[in-house]
Amino acid sequence: MRKIFSVMTVLMALMLFLTGCGKSAVAVKAELPVTLEQVNTEGKFVARAFLESIFTDDRDMFNKCYPAGYLERLGEASEADVFEEFKKAMTINAQVNGTAYAGSVDCTVANGYDEAAIRSGICFVTGLQYSSVGQIQIQKIRVFFSNGAEKVETDFYFVVYEADGSWYMSENYRGDNKF
């Protein structure tokens, strides 16, 4: 579990630098922040809430992005405060001006994904039953930064899933971005 946590933390830090900083071709504007009530209602909200919680130091929102008990088990296995480790990995020298939903794709065989393997991976890491995991998506979330006069946008890609009627974070997406 410690190795999984370490790999997740390093990959999240790399995502900040490898997800295409720059001006976007499509005009997407920062949206109002996600509320605690919205977090688990849709894939786009849980993915945005994950990023917003880290950038705004909101542990309650971060905890809500994962199934009950998951972060505690991960923290015990890695002997680390998961929230603090993500914050360290995502430290930037700029002001975060907001996030926005920029697209999503369903992880289905029809869309070219190995849905069964992704579902099995989620179940292995979270301890959820295979039949509990419903829809799985890759969410594209745009983050807006400013550093003085310069404004920058970057896209993050996350795998999110629905389980028993609520949406949760799985991991950052490391494959080809098809949207």
Euclidean distance between CA atoms 160 and 170, whole angstroms:
5
Query: What is the mean pLDDT of the segment spanning 63-68?
Result: 94
The pLDDT of residue 26 is 53
The pLDDT of residue 178 is 63
The pTM assigned to this predicted structure is: 0.81
63 pLDDT above the threshold of 80: yes
The pLDDT of residue 5 is 45
In the chain, the percentage of residues whose pLDDT exceeds 90 is 58
What tokens does 111 get?
């869309």
The pLDDT of residue 69 is 86
Euclidean distance between CA atoms 51 and 170, whole angstroms:
13
- Burial of 52 (C-beta count, 10 Å sphere; 0-12/13-18/19+): buried
